[in-house]
Structure 1
Amino acid sequence: MRIAVVSVNGTPLSPTTPAKARKLIQSGGAQARRNKLGIFYLQLTTPTRENIPHETVAGIDPGKLYSGIGVQTPQATLWMGHLVLPFPYVKRRMTRRWHSRQFRRYRKTPQRPQRFRQRTGHKIPPSIKANRDLEWRVLQELAKIYPITQVVYEVVKARGTKSFSPVMVGQYWQMDRLASCFLLEPRYGWETAQLRFALGLEKTTKKSEQSPASHAVDGVALAASHFLHYVPFTEKNGDHGRRWEGTCQITPAPFAIIQRPQLLRRALHDQNPVRGGARERFGGTTTPWGFRKGDRVEGTKAGRIVRGYVSGYTNTNKKRNIAIVDARWKRLGQFAVSKVRLLGRSSRLLVSSVACARCR
């Protein structure tokens, strides 16, 4: 396991061991910090040399519903991530918006005219773009504390037309964006499977399992491929072929499950009519008491202390409550406003972290 280190100016440096990190904190040479992904790192208080003796590589295994990311050096695995992508949520929201616009065209109300060529100019569908944007956002946060020099990206090559797989849509657009900031190295899916076998990594068949063995293991294997080489070999008994050779240590590392909060844009009213003609409030991210949806808060109720994220509120003559959810956007309960304490502002990310996990 390694601890990320940044300089006084915030430049990522070579990670250190937990023992050295404790000594730096006790001597006052560094201060403890946490970034928006919940990763613990150190910021030095005095200037130091900034030469890094090794390469740091990030591996990305893109998907339709889940993606895996790993950060690797030749000596250790630095971080593993399991991304729950917003594809189903964005798709439902876009369908709902399309229905709303369609219904307005048959009423005497302001409306937008129909557009029959919406995606000319190689535009990316909103659901696919939301997936790739989440991967890009996580990579940007990682690059702030790890000296990432190269990115290995898995290229999906399925049989059929270009619209055969949603993962194939927009992958070259994402690769162009990655190549603008990092050195990019593409890998195909069959290479990822061989790399897992060469490194002794096992992958579960359950895609929805939120563990390193589901998707993060592919990200680690892709990142480790930069330090391995696919070379020919010939044995004394006549066997020959190609295999992966090289040195790369796969070690326990912090693991995080990341997804977007399911926020709703502010609307004038709910779509469903109610008796009396006055429709309820719908959407928005603010509350009357200074909290915002997605803020990290701590709530107390009947002696029970809960930490989570703000997802909504109730403001009536009898109740003034804040709804708190966990990192999977599942409600934990409603708490009185006076019993809720702000811990941190919203970063538009929901993070559930494990201090140390293995991908073997």
Structure 2
Amino acid sequence: MIRVPVLSPDGEPLMPAKASRVRRWLKAGKAKVVNNDLNLFQVQLVEEPSGKETQDILTGMLPCKLFTGVAVQSRGATLFLAHLNLPFKNVTKRMSQRAMMRRGRRGRRINRKVPFNQRNHRECRFDNRKGHKIPPSIRANKQLALRVVQELNKIYPFTDVVVEVIKARGDKGFSPTMVGQYWQIEQLEQAGYTVHTQEGWYTSNLRQYLGLPKAKNKAESSPAAHAVDGICLVASRFMRYRLIKGRSGTWLGGIAVTPCQFAVISRPPICRRQLHLMIKSKGGKRRGYGGTVTRHGFRKGDYVKAEKAGITYHGYVSGDTKTQVSVSDANWKRLGQFTAKKVQLLQRNTGLVSTVGLSNLTALSEVEVNGSV
């Protein structure tokens, strides 16, 4: 049975309730549907609840180079799963373009016909080859994962986060997954969470014991790609391995893997405002490019409802013309161009694009909640 997030009248996250109970609340007028930045189905109670006791809920996070898996799990149910499409490639590409344009501007500024000591060279202000800064692409990855955890904390009552720590062989600086992982743990702790770390081999052993599937294609947007490991990370706090006479052992404790809401989350691929294009147009002039504000009161990334030929579409604003607004789906593929008067704003741009569905991920082994096998 799917659990639905529940808020108190003052916005405090409560223990999720079964979908059947939530339907009765909505029918009786005891609750109302509210929005959140992750587009999850959520309700808020109209009157004060009889109690605010909660069970132990943890969040598991598996960081990778291009994707991250997130799971919110209690001992008795799986509450939420997410597959994050990280902006690593997009940020790397834009940083390379910025460096190329900067080199071009500096090259055009220097007059090479004069002696070297008379050229317009700017002296180095500091040695930028030494330092301990996080690369922009890695920082963008970690900040997206941190943003999702913070949004989930507004929906589910948890305080602990379990993060998988990667230990790659060879030079540690050449593993984008390892770079910045302890910086991310520090950021989570500064945000007020209790962070537990877990190594990958332990996660793999738990996944095999629970009988959870693992997709071979890590790029597919499914719970079995990365989110399943988030469940195993949380399970490491509810289960432990005990040796028997020093030779073999067994797992003590257990969890229940149940259907839940599953979301594919990414950043909207919006081009920020540029003063000009990189390539000159005819006549030697360059037109402006990018920006987030349209001419019709919408912003790029706004979630809207649009109508054309009697058909209603839901999507995100991705561009505009003089009289029309471009609307795209969550994969940023254009659904069409619509007359501005027939486009209705549903939610302002939150910096996140989320596609929510249902996960039917279940454990194949018979592991009960009380720990008996």
Show the counterpart of 2:209: 198
RMSD: 2.0
Show the counterpart of 1:208: 219
Is the contact made by 1:60 and 1:67 (CA closer than 8 Å) also made in structure 2? yes
1:277 to 280, 284, 292: 284
Question: Does 1:158 find its partner at 2:168?
Answer: yes
Mapping 1:66-81, distance limit 5 Å: 66-81=67-82
C-alpha spacing 1:350/1:111, structure 2 compared with 1 (3 Å): farther
Q: Number of aligned pairs? A: 352
Residues 203-254 of structure 1: per-residue CA shift (max 9 Å, x gap): 01101111111111111111222111122125xxxx9323432121010110
1:134 to 144, 162, 170: 144
- Cα distance, 1:336 vs structure 2: 2.2
- Cα distance, 1:304 vs structure 2: 3.1
- Cα distance, 1:259 vs structure 2: 0.4
Show the counterpart of 1:25: 26
TM-score by length of 1: 0.92
Is the contact made by 2:14 and 2:54 (CA closer than 8 Å) also made in structure 1? no
Show the counterpart of 2:117: none
- Cα distance, 1:140 vs structure 2: 0.5
Residues 128-167 of structure 1: per-residue CA shift (max 9 Å, x gap): 0000111001101100010112111000001012213100
Q: Which amino acid aligns with 2:66?
A: L
What is the percent sequence identity of the aligned residues? 45
Question: Does 1:266 find its partner at 2:277?
Answer: no
- Cα distance, 1:344 vs structure 2: 1.2
Separation in 2, partners of 1:333, 1:114: 49
Separation in 2, partners of 1:321, 1:114: 48
Separation in 1, partners of 2:353, 2:362: 22
Is the contact made by 2:235 and 2:254 (CA closer than 8 Å) also made in structure 1? no
Separation in 2, partners of 1:214, 1:252: 16
Separation in 2, partners of 1:279, 1:224: 56
SS in 2 for 1:19: helix
Mapping 1:227-242, distance limit 5 Å: 227-234=238-245, 240-242=247-249
Separation in 1, partners of 2:356, 2:319: 24
Which 4+ runs in 1 deviate beyond 6 A? 109-113
Deviates more, 1:331-340 or 1:58-67: 331-340
Is the contact made by 1:260 and 1:348 (CA closer than 8 Å) also made in structure 2? yes
2:311 to 304, 308, 313: 304
C-alpha spacing 1:224/1:295, structure 2 compared with 1 (3 Å): same
Separation in 1, partners of 2:283, 2:124: 32
Is the contact made by 1:104 and 1:111 (CA closer than 8 Å) also made in structure 2? no
SS in 2 for 1:346: coil
Show the counterpart of 1:250: 257
- Cα distance, 1:47 vs structure 2: 2.0
TM-score by length of 2: 0.89
- Cα distance, 1:311 vs structure 2: 1.1
Separation in 2, partners of 1:13, 1:122: 40
- Cα distance, 1:299 vs structure 2: 2.1
Mapping 1:1-360, distance limit 5 Å: 1-48=2-49, 51-108=52-109, 117-118=127-128, 120-180=130-190, 181-234=192-245, 240-315=247-322, 320-358=323-361, 360=363
Q: Which amino acid aligns with 1:207?
A: K
